[in-house]
Amino acid sequence: MTMPDDYLQYANRRYGMDHDRYDWSMLSARKPVAWPNGARVALWVVPALEWFPLDMAGKPFKPPGAMQTAYPDLRHYTLRDYGNRIGIFRIMQALERHGIRASVAVNAAVAVRYPSLLQACVARHWEIIANGQDMDHLHHGGLAREVEQALVANTLKTLRAASGQAVRGWLSPAKSESSATLDLLRDAGIDYVCDWVNDDMPYPMRAAGGRLHAMPHPVDIDDYTILVQNHHTEDDFRDQLCDQFDVLYRESQTQGGRVMAIALHPWVIGQPYRIRALEEALAHIMGHAGVWAATGSEILDAWTAAQAA
């Protein structure tokens, strides 16, 4: 099939980035950041509470963790459900040992189906981040703007009402966005997004009607990538978290504050034979002086204040 002549013609085709959502810059050239109380590394832990429908359509693609076999795929459905029933509480215990409050990314469907689970997070003073409607409603270029706008509005209305929080952060299911997602999120009062994985620090992004920020939320060192996708061992996962922290901690000595973000899936790391790896990594990290365990909103506010100083 021959491509039409206008296939590669669009407004932002030029040398450099093909969009104007942010100004490109090297981290080493930016203003150093000082975290509260002289901390060197901000630790940001982000578990995800997801609901995967049993009859997933998987359009336009299947997100990580989607159902795999013929309907009804009870094997994968119940494993995902394990995370919300059991695994998340092991994560809670591991974090509580170190006084760490998480920013938990929640599908709106979880708040509706399992309200006590959301309240368990709120009772621990965790920050609630919106994680879309559910894991079968992806944001992508094929959505009509009004359809995506309704997804954003309904997700935030549900989570804000259920949690009593402002819900300032957003993580798209599968980190998938359309060209309108940032504009719709800004209009809905979102302050930061977790979908862009091109930095170790927060940075400002342009959206219609204002500005929001990208927060570092890496996929390279999350538990699903390392343990399920890459088939590494639990010790590998622990070591990679420790290695990530050690480099950021070393850089912070001369280059200013850094963010250590850890993305977790309770149905993965919450297994009895895996939780040790997280516990040992957290002990290593929190055993260092100058580690500030914070929520995403706290980190963003501190970063914003440092930029204005």
Which pLDDT value is given to residue 20? 87
Which pLDDT value is given to residue 15? 61
Q: Is 173 inside any structural domain?
A: yes
Which pLDDT value is given to residue 1? 61
Question: In the numeric block, which tokens belong to residue 226?
Answer: 């390392």
Domain limits for position 133? 35-308
Residue type, 65: G
Which pLDDT value is given to residue 3? 73
Q: Is 13 inside any structural domain?
A: no
The angle formed by the CA atoms of residues 216, 265 and 59, to the nearest 5 degrees, is 85
Which pLDDT value is given to residue 12? 60
Residue type, 1: M
- Based on the structure, what is the number of domains in the chain? 1
CATH number of the domain encompassing residue 143: 3.20.20.370
Q: What does the alpha-carbon distance between residue 211 and residue 204 come to, in Å, rounded to a whole number?
A: 7
Which pLDDT value is given to residue 13? 63
Q: Is 17 inside any structural domain?
A: no
Which pLDDT value is given to residue 14? 62
Q: What does the alpha-carbon distance between residue 235 and residue 66 come to, in Å, rounded to a whole number?
A: 26
Q: Is 10 inside any structural domain?
A: no
Q: Is 18 inside any structural domain?
A: no
Which pLDDT value is given to residue 107? 98
Name residues of the chain where pLDDT drops below 50: none
Q: Is 186 inside any structural domain?
A: yes
Q: Is 174 inside any structural domain?
A: yes
Q: Is 8 inside any structural domain?
A: no
Which pLDDT value is given to residue 309? 82
Q: What does the alpha-carbon distance between residue 248 and residue 288 come to, in Å, rounded to a whole number?
A: 12
25 CB-contact burial (10 Å; exposed 0-12 / middle 13-18 / buried 19+): exposed
